[in-house]
Amino acid sequence: MPAPWSPTDLRSYEAALNVFDKKVKGAIAGVIKKTVEECYREIVDTSPWETGSYISSHRIGINAVDGSDTVFSKENPTSKAAAQAQALTELSKLTGLQDTDIVYISNSVGFSNENHYSWAANVEYSGWNNKGPYLVFEKAALMAINRIPQYVQYVKGQGDKILDTALM
């Protein structure tokens, strides 16, 4: 075990604080990434529909909403499993996430269809045929927020011991 570090002048304090700052930011970014990932998976996995168009139309945007549209063919409907696999490719956008990034989860289906409506409002708030509101996003966000202490422990347990070594 290394001997405790003791700064001797202002420069050494500044250097130590810079190292601590970088390590803590790395840990925070890990917690943010895990929180977003679990929230997104919950949204994709708890769709109230078995069709793939709603599921595969979810997007992740970093520092801006991903406004890309999802256009579907009525002749070749997407299965639920294929839609989930397609939706989960969005998680790759979390690679390199920084603690200062803002992550947006959105749904893009409907903007290009002939009815010109977005399903997201109906799924989240209005519902269809008096079966809503479904609150898919709200429930997923609440679940993720309540699990943040678990995500902190998960990130800490990944072997980097960021906060432990930063505080030595």
> To which residue do tokens 């409002």 refer?
121
Say whether the peptide bond before residue 149 is cis (omega within 30 degrees of 0).
Answer: no
Average pLDDT over every residue of 1-12: 62
Give all strands (DSSP E) within the chain, no chain letters. Answer: 58-62, 103-107
Quick: pLDDT tens for 66-94.
878 776 666 677 788 888 898 999 999 99
Quick: pLDDT tens for 100-154.
899 999 887 655 555 545 566 677 776 777 676 788 888 898 999 898 888 888 8
Quick: pLDDT tens for 108-122.
765 555 554 556 667
Domain ranges for the chain? 33-166
Nearest to 106 by CA among 142, 133, 140, 143: 140
